[in-house]
Amino acid sequence: MATTILNGGTLTLTINAIARSEQITSAVLTVEQTRNAYNLIGGTKAFKVVDNNVTLAIEAMQDWTSGTSDFMDALWTASATPDTSVPFVLSCNSQTFTGSLYPEYPAVGGAGNDALTWSVTFQCAGVPTKA
């Protein structure tokens, strides 16, 4: 089979039903499993996954505007209720991952001669579904 090389241009991200791909420069979904090992009396080992830690790390351009539809304002508002998750959909080529994440306050500001950017790692509420 031929190798297919994908780049970040194939990624799209929607958070709380609003497309955010135009502001985001990087998006990485990570699932880390906690796997316990058990030594059985017969001399073998058994392994069991007991937990999953799922995060969505993004880097984005700050898009503070005068309206309430910008990404920064939406995150700031959602972060006022930090224990309430919001839905996300991350698509990579033809693969779609749907889940929920807990909002985080975005960073504000930056250097005078650079584009204003920010980075955050969202905690996700469980393992996303893959379609």
* Residue 98 belongs to a domain: yes
* Residue 37 belongs to a domain: yes
CA distances from 86 to 18, 71, 99 (A): 11, 13, 8
* Residue 81 belongs to a domain: yes
pLDDT of residue 10: 66
Asked whether 43 and 31 are in contact (CB, 8 A), the reply is no
CA distances from 29 to 11, 62, 129 (A): 11, 21, 12
How big is the CA angle at 108 (ends 99 and 78), to the nearest 5 degrees?
35
* Residue 3 belongs to a domain: no
* Residue 2 belongs to a domain: no
Q: Per-residue confidence of the chain (131 residues) as pLDDT tens digits?
A: 665 555 566 678 888 888 887 888 888 999 999 999 999 999 999 999 999 999 999 998 888 775 656 788 888 888 999 999 999 999 988 889 999 999 999 888 888 888 888 899 999 999 999 98
* Residue 97 belongs to a domain: yes
CATH of the domain at 81: 2.40.30
Q: Please give the residue range of the domain that contains residue 29.
A: 8-130
pLDDT of residue 31: 95
pLDDT of residue 41: 95
Give me the number of domains the chain comprises: 1
